[in-house]
Structure 1
Amino acid sequence: MSNAQTSSRKIILQERPAPDELVPSRYAVRVGDIDVLIISDGILTPPAESMATNADPEVRGAWLDERFLSKVAFDWALNAVVVRSGDQTILIDSGLGEEYPDFPRAGQFVHRLEAAGVDLAAVTDVVLTHMHFDHVGGLLVEGVKERMRPDLRVHVCAAETKFWQAPDFSLTAMPPALADLARKASLEFLNAYRSHLRTFDQQAQVAPGVVVTRTGGHTPGHSVVRISSGDERLMFGGDALFPVSFDHPEWHNGFEHDPDEATRVRLRLMKELAETGSWLVSTHMPFPSVGRVATAGDLYRWVPAWWDY
C-alpha cells in the first residue's frame, strides 16, 4: 500500500459521525509528509443536460443509462480539501455553504469540518480554484469569517477576481437563477475577504509542497493545486475534470465560461496525470474522489483508489 493511500493518523476522525450521517463524509490520505483530508459538502443535483450541453441527447442519455443514472438530474458530488503542510493548515475551496432550495442535499461543509476536528481558527490559508458559488459559499456562512484568523491569506488567481467584478455568462448554459446566484456570491465574497486576498498571475507556492497554478477554461482564473512530498503527488483538479470527462472530454459542461478552452485544459491535465501517476482529487468526482488516471486508447480512464480503512 502506498503512502498516499495510508490514512493520516494526525487528521483521522476525532469524533464519530453524528447519528444523522448515513454515509462517510471525510477521508484522510497522506502524500509524503503532507496530510490531506477530503471533506464532502454533500451532493448537488443539476439538470442532466448541463453535464454535456453540446452532446447528442440520445448519446448523453445512453451514457447515463449505462451507469444507471437519471436522465433528468444527476448526483454531482461536492468535495473540498484540507491540507496540512508544516505549520500551515490550508483550506482548498469551501463548498456551497448553506442549504439552497434547489440543492437540499448540499451545504454541509462547516459542520462536517467541525465533526472532523478541523478548527476554523487554525486555518492559515485558503486557496480558491475559482469563485463559483459552490466553491466560495462555505466562507460566506454567517459567523464563519469571524472565526477565521485576522491574518488569514486567501490565494486566488488575479484573472478570477477581475472577471467576477463584471462576469460574462454568454458562453455558459447556466440557468438564469444560478447565474444570478454566482454573480451575487462572488461579489459578496470579494467584499467580505478583499483585505485577505493574495492574488497571483499564473502560479504561487502556498506552503512547502503546495503550489496553485492557473489553468483557465472553466472560468478565466480557474486553477488547480498540486501537492508533492518525496515521491508522492496529488492534484486537486477543481472543476477541470468531471466523471464524464474520461469518456467524453469534448462534452461541454454548462458551467464552463470558455468551453473549448476547458476541453483543452482537461485533456492536458489527464495526459499529465497519466504520465506522472499522480493521485487526483476533484470537486465533482464521486466521494472520496481519490484515484489515478490511466490511458485507454486515445482517451483516458478513471481508476478509483481502493477504500483504505
Structure 2
Amino acid sequence: MPPITVTPFTSPMPVATPPPGMELFQLPTGSYVTRAALAFRGGRWSDRREFASTAVLVRHPAGDLLIDAGFGANAAQHIRTLPAFRRARHRLGATARQQLDAAGYDHRRLLGIVLTHSHWDHVSGLDSLAAPVWTAPGERAHAGRAKDDRVFSRVTDDHEVREYSFDGPAHLGFSASRDVHGDGSVVIVPAAGHTPGSVVVFVTVPSGRRFAFIGDLTWQLEGITRQAERPLLLRALADSDPAGVRRDLARVIALADEVHLVPAHDARAYEGIPHLTPATTGPTS
C-alpha cells in the first residue's frame, strides 16, 4: 500500500466567532489495552497501548454539547455482549454522568450528545445520560444492522435520537457541514468510512485555537504523524469503507499545522484540554 497522499491545505481558515465564555473540557471514562501493531501500520507488537474512551464537553452560551459518551455505568455488561476477540482488558473510570454530577453541572444546559459514530466505546455512556442523541444520516440504520455490536440499540431505547442534515457549505476540505450554533464555533462534517455516518467535529474556542475531534479516522496519533493507516486486516474488520477513511485521514493530516487533531482513542491528543471541576461549571455568559 503506497503512503497516503496529502495535499497541503492552502485556503484561508473559515471565519469563526466563538462567544466569550465558550469552553472545552475532557471527561475521560477509562481505557482498554491493545497492541500498537494492531493500531497502525508499522506499529510494534511489543508496544502496548492504552486506548482512551473520552467524552468531550463543549460549553456554549446557546447550549452545551457532549462529543461522544465514553464508557457507561453498565460498560462491563456491554463488553460481555461483544465478540470474544473484542473483549480486551478494560479499565473503567468515572462515567461522563458521574463527572458532570461531581462538578455540579446543570444538565438542563445539555442540548445533545453528538456521536462521532455508533460503536460501543463511543456510546456506552448514554446509559446514564438523558439528553437527545445526535447522529449523522445513515448511522442509526447502520447501528441497527450491526450483528457484533448491539450496544447502541440497548442504550438508546429510551433516548430521543435526532438525525441531522449537512445543510452547510464545504468546510476545511470536507464536502458539506453543519454549523451547530451559526457562529462557526462547532461545525460537524461528514466523514463516512469507518461507519457510514461517521463525522468529524471541528471546535473553535475564544482564544482562536481550533480542534478537530476526528473519531476513529485513526486510533492513535501515529496515524497523523506517520501518515499510517490501520493495518490491512484491521481496515477490513473495522472500516465499512477503508478508501473513505484513507481519503478523510489525508484531509485532516493536511490541517495538522492549523488544527489540533484529536483521535478519539489516544489520550495524548487530549493533553491541554482541561478536566471538568466544580470551579468550571459556572454560567457561560
SS in 1 for 2:28: strand
What amino acid does structure 1 have at the position aligned with 2:101?
E
SS in 1 for 2:200: strand
Q: Deviations over 1:241-276 (max 9, x none)?
A: 3223022423344532222321221111110232xx
Equivalent residue in structure 2 for 1:204, among 157, 170, 178? 178
Query: Percent identity at matched positions?
Result: 24
Looking at structure 2, the residues matched to 288 and 243 of structure 1 have their Cα atoms a distance apart, in angstroms, of: 7
Q: Show the 5 A alignment for 1:222-241.
A: 222-229=198-205, 231-241=208-218
- Please report how far the alpha carbon of residue 132 of structure 1 lies from its aligned counterpart in structure 2 after TM superposition: 0.5
Structure 2: runs of 5+ lacking an equivalent: 1-17, 80-86, 167-175, 276-285
Counterpart for residue 106 of structure 1: 92
Q: Show the 5 A alignment for 1:1-309.
A: 33=20, 34-46=22-34, 48-52=36-40, 55=41, 59-61=42-44, 69-70=47-48, 74-97=49-72, 98-100=74-76, 102=87, 103-106=89-92, 108-109=94-95, 110-140=97-127, 144-145=128-129, 148=130, 152-167=131-146, 180=148, 182=149, 184-193=150-159, 195-201=160-166, 203-207=177-181, 208=183, 209-229=185-205, 231-241=208-218, 242-245=220-223, 246-252=225-231, 253=234, 254-274=237-257, 277-287=258-268, 289-290=270-271
SS in 1 for 2:178: strand
Q: 2:186·2:202 contact (CA, 8 Å) conserved in 1?
A: yes
Looking at structure 2, the residues matched to 205 and 306 of structure 1 have their Cα atoms a distance apart, in angstroms, of: 22
Structure ranking higher on relative contact order (CA contacts 8 Å, 6+ apart): 2
- Alpha carbons of structure 1 residues 117 and 273: separation in structure 2 relative to 1, 3 Å: farther
- Alpha carbons of structure 1 residues 117 and 266: separation in structure 2 relative to 1, 3 Å: farther
What amino acid does structure 2 have at the position aligned with 1:273?
A
Looking at structure 2, the residues matched to 137 and 259 of structure 1 have their Cα atoms a distance apart, in angstroms, of: 25
Counterpart for residue 9 of structure 1: none
TM-score w.r.t. the length of structure 1 is 0.64
Looking at structure 2, the residues matched to 106 and 214 of structure 1 have their Cα atoms a distance apart, in angstroms, of: 30
Which is richer in strand? 1
SS in 2 for 1:91: strand
Q: 2:31·2:50 contact (CA, 8 Å) conserved in 1?
A: yes
Q: Deviations over 1:79-100 (max 9, x none)?
A: 2100111131111110121342
Q: 2:27·2:57 contact (CA, 8 Å) conserved in 1?
A: yes
Looking at structure 1, the residues matched to 273 and 111 of structure 2 have their Cα atoms a distance apart, in angstroms, of: 31
What amino acid does structure 2 have at the position aligned with 1:247?
R
TM-score w.r.t. the length of structure 2 is 0.69
Looking at structure 2, the residues matched to 267 and 106 of structure 1 have their Cα atoms a distance apart, in angstroms, of: 32
- Please report how far the alpha carbon of residue 212 of structure 1 lies from its aligned counterpart in structure 2 after TM superposition: 1.1
Structure 1: runs of 5+ lacking an equivalent: 1-30, 168-178, 291-304
Residue correspondences, number = 227
SS in 2 for 1:212: strand
- TM-align CA RMSD: 2.9
Relative to structure 2, which stretch is displaced further, 100-109 or 125-134? 100-109
- Alpha carbons of structure 1 residues 123 and 282: separation in structure 2 relative to 1, 3 Å: same
Looking at structure 1, the residues matched to 273 and 191 of structure 2 have their Cα atoms a distance apart, in angstroms, of: 29
Relative to structure 2, which stretch is displaced further, 259-268 or 224-233? 224-233
Q: Deviations over 1:173-230 (max 9, x none)?
A: xxxxxx62x2x1122244332x341422453222242111111121111101111255
Looking at structure 2, the residues matched to 203 and 191 of structure 1 have their Cα atoms a distance apart, in angstroms, of: 28
Q: 1:228·1:234 contact (CA, 8 Å) conserved in 2?
A: yes
